[in-house]
Structure formats: structure tokens, C-alpha cells
Amino acid sequence: MKLRDRVAVITGAAQGIGHAIATEFAREGAMVAAIDRKPEVQNLCDDLTGNNLKARPYILDITDHGSYRKCVDDVVHHEGRIDILVNDAAICFYGDIFEDSLEEWRKVQTVNLDALYWGAKLVAPIMAQQHWGRIINIGSTQAIATEGRLGAYTAAKGAIHSYTKSLAVELAPHGILANAIAPGCIHTPMSIIGGVDETQTELFQEWYVKRRKIPLARPGEASEVARVAVFLASDDCSYVTGHTLVVDGGLTITF
């Protein structure tokens, strides 16, 4: 119970990594405020509360800054505090510089970066008053070594890694730690493109598994990212801030 009595706000909680983090945080004793624009976030919270864990769903679009503020205010009203923020919500578009559009670029930045900033801005004063807090931003190995055709997503994730450092410096005097996680090839709904699970294609199996471009020779699971998030959110993480922790099975150390 590493997060006993902590209050955690998690965006993008309806599926994938966000869903796994919400589940692990609840199992570790946290009260989870699970945010997503997808109504399936209600199912997550029903499952958690059905197992005597603490969770409350918030169905909203985090790019609606007024709704996001009301959500944070509601969490504080019910729980009296916010200890942890996990910025997981993200979208992406595939297409190179010849194919993508300014509209797609701006939409990705609005969801992946602007909403992350707004969430941190909303919770920072609450955490500062407590003199304890954890902000965890979900980045990506695409910001470290990219395959291309994800320009807007890569730019946003690179900005997240950098912004996490700035947050860490600014918030350290207030007892708040800010860190990022950079997942690699993780088996989530985002790995299904055009109805095809990219981790099961012949190319992926040949290059990343058989030839061990990923040294551990498999895609990761969302639960494995979630366990890293538990560490960063807990008292075990006391002297790590401004860091991007790579969770990629060794993908970015190979050539």
C-alpha cells in the first residue's frame, strides 16, 4: 500500500497506460480521480469500487479548461487534497510533413501539451500548500529516437520531457517532485493502427523480437509502465526529480 490515503488525478484513464496506472494506484491505496472524455472511464471506476478500491470517474475533455478546473475543484471538495497528478492523455496522427496538416498539428499540441500544462497549473498551488506533491508526465521514446511520420506527437513529447525539468526546478522549493516516463513499444490500443496490431506484424516480430532491436524481445505491457508510475508517486521516490525514466525494454540503447 505505497499510496495509502493519497489522492491521485489521472488523465486518459479509460484505456491503455492511463487505465493501468489508475488500477495500480487504487490497488496501492490511493483514491483515484479518473479523467477521460470516453465514457468507458465509468466502467473502470465501477470495477475498482466493486473491488473495494477508491475511484471516482470524471467524463470530460481536458482541453475544455473550465471543465478541467471544475473537476479539480470537485476532487478537492470531496477529498480535501490532491497529492498526485498523472498527465497521460494523448492523441497522435500519422503522416509525414507532406501529408499532415496544421489543424492536426495544433490538435495534438492542444491535447498532449497545453492540457498537461493546464493540469499542472491547477494542482501546483494545492500541492504547494500541502508541501508535498508528485507530478508525473507521460512522454515517449519517440522524443528520443523517432521513426518519423509522427511529427506533431514527437514534438509534443519532446516538449513534455523538457517542461518536466522546468517544473521540477520551479516546484522543488514547495516539496513537489516532477518526473516523466518515456514508454517504448507498449501493447495498448494506441498500438492498433488501421485495425492492425503493430506489435504482431511480421516486421515487428522479425526486427524487434527475433533480431532483438528491443533487447528484451517483446513489447511492454501497460502494467509495467504503471509500476514505474507507482514508484514515482510514492515516498520511495524522494530524491528523483526532473528525470525522464525510460521504460522501453532497451529499445533506445540499441542501433
- CB atoms under 10 Å from CB of 121, counted, come to 13
User: Which residues lie closer than 8 Å to 208 by C-beta, 6 or more apart?
Assistant: 185, 214, 217, 219, 251
C-alpha cell at 163: 517542461
Range list of β-strands (E), 44-132: 54-59, 84-87
Query: Are the C-beta atoms of residues 22 and 38 closer than 8 Å to each other?
Result: no
Q: Which stretch of DSSP H or E encloses residue 203?
A: helix 202-204
Candidates 58, 68, 94, 153; catalytic one: 153
Is position 239 annotated as part of the catalytic site?
A: no
State the Cα–Cα distance between residues 9 and 34, nearest whole angstrom. Answer: 6
Q: Known catalytic residues?
A: 153
